[in-house]
Amino acid sequence: MPAILAIESSCDETAASVCVDRMILSNVVASQKVHEEYGGVVPELASRAHLQAIVPVVDTALKRAKTSLDTIDAYAFTQSPGLIGALLVGAEFAKSCALARHKPLIAAHHMQAHVLANLIQSPDKKNDIPSFPFLCLTVSGGHTQIVLCSDYLTMKVIGQTLDDAAGEAFDKSAKILGLPYPGGPLIDKYAKDGDPDKYKFPEPKIDKLDFSFSGLKTAILYFIHEQKEKNKNFIEENIHDICASIQSRIVSILLNKLKRASAQTGIKNICIAGGVSANSGLRKTFAELGAKEGWKTFIPAFEYCTDNAAMIAITAYFKFLAGQFEDLSVVPSARAAF
Ligand code: KG4
Ligand code: ZN
């Protein structure tokens, strides 16, 4: 029953979590507001904000778990991928704790952790956990992957985006509509009252299990320009239908490939993960498709979809059991495959 303190600092969220066994005792996330006025994450500002937030965030995570550093058996951090200056803050903090307390250190891969968020046990132990092998569609701000997971720490990417990630497709579409960053959740919000069939955006023809979203972004850009020439209030008057139509196309691109991946591999245990799995349209359509295809579907609890440290803690838990520890020379890396 190891107790693990995990830190996540790969982008613009400073997060800490305490996990004992497979259960999350606390999950604290401080979202950095400083980037809003720039329309995207500014790396140097992210590093500084992590430095300011990390001590209070860890302190709150320990307090909410009703524990202290005395009970912690291992310290974990996100090693990659991410913004290097941001990753360094979490890595050095975890290393310092491990050194000072003479405890093991564990490094987690952020994308692997998004997948393993599906294995977090709820406090009442009533949630279904996928058995191996399973497929996971991981959709975040920087990645879009279909992952074949054959064991806790054995994963293979069998499809991925060739250009923009699904989260970027949401955020860049939102920017075209004049919505603030990050626009994904706002598209979701407006889409709730819109007609998803009102405007037809193209579905790219991409080989195998890979994705592409850059053509969709260009199509949306041209469409909006054209419509605004005819009616300068086009966006304001039709925001719900525009958002619903964009969301519905992004979701259909994702789920058509997931359907193909299931058919090719014969795997019917299917998960989704990552920030975009918080999208209500994706969650609903995924569940409907799963029922139709005879899949067993899994979606992490909402708080474990967008960036968080609970997913780092659960990954570290499995690494602890497998004896996968690091020494203090370990360094973070902006890009690394798993
Ligand atoms: O996994 P995540 O929190 O961070 C990365 O690892 O990138 O994903 C962030 C992405 C952003 O692009 C954000 O717009 C998108 O997830 N996102 C959403 C929703 N919530 C977060 N996209 C669509 N609908 C949402 N409800
Ligand atoms: Zn993420």
pLDDT in tens, 256-311: 999 999 999 999 999 999 999 999 999 999 999 999 999 999 999 999 999 999 99
Cβ pair 304, 120 in contact under 8 A = yes
The DSSP code sequence of 298-329 is: E---GGGTSS-SHHHHHHHHHHHHHT--B-TT
* Closest Cα to atom 7 of ligand 1: 141
Whether residue 77 has pLDDT greater than 90: yes
- Mean pLDDT over 94-108 rounds to 98
Task: Give the percent of the chain with pLDDT over 90.
Answer: 93
Position 39 scores a pLDDT of 82
| SS3 call for 164 | coil
| Euclidean distance between the first and the last CA atom of the chain, given in angstroms as a whole number | 26
Q: Which amino acid is at 116?
A: L
The CB of 165 under 6 Å from ligand 1? The reply is no
Classify domain 134-300 by CATH architecture. 2-Layer Sandwich (3.30)
- Tell how far the Cα of 95 is from the centroid of ligand 1, in angstroms: 28
Cα(273) to centroid(ligand 2), Å: 9
Mean pLDDT over each residue of the chain, to the nearest integer: 96
Q: Is the CB of 141 under 6 A from ligand 1?
A: yes
| pLDDT tens per residue across span 181-222 | 889 999 999 999 999 999 999 999 998 999 999 999 999 999
Residue having the nearest C-alpha atom to atom 3 of ligand 1: 306
CA-to-CA dists, residue 36 to 43, 50, 104, 183, angstroms: 13, 16, 37, 11
* Mean pLDDT calculated for residue range 10-24: 95
Supply the pLDDT for residue 128. Answer: 93
Residue whose CA lies nearest to ligand 1 atom number 16:
275
Parts of the chain belonging to CATH 3.30.420.40 = 3-122+304-322, 134-300
Residue 40 is predicted with a pLDDT of 85
User: What pairs with residue 137 in β-bridges?
Assistant: 146, 272
12 lines ligand 1 (CB under 6 A): no
CA of 322 to the centre of ligand 1 (A): 31
**In the structure, what pLDDT confidence band is assigned to residue 125 with cuts at 50, 70 and 90?**
confident
User: From the CB of 196, is ligand 1 less than 6 Å away?
Assistant: no
| d(C-alpha 142, C-alpha 61), whole Å | 26
Q: Residue 122 above 90 pLDDT? A: no
**Contacts with 146 (C-beta within 8 Å, 6 or more apart), sequence order:** 135, 136, 137, 138, 157, 158, 159, 160, 209, 257, 258, 261
Tell me which residue of 104, 108, 8 sits closest to 328, measured CA to CA.
104
Which protein residue's CA is at the shortest distance from atom 10 of ligand 1?
141
CATH annotation of 3-122+304-322: 3.30.420.40
Q: What is the pLDDT of residue 320?
A: 98
pLDDT band at 338 (very low <50, low <70, confident <90, very high): confident
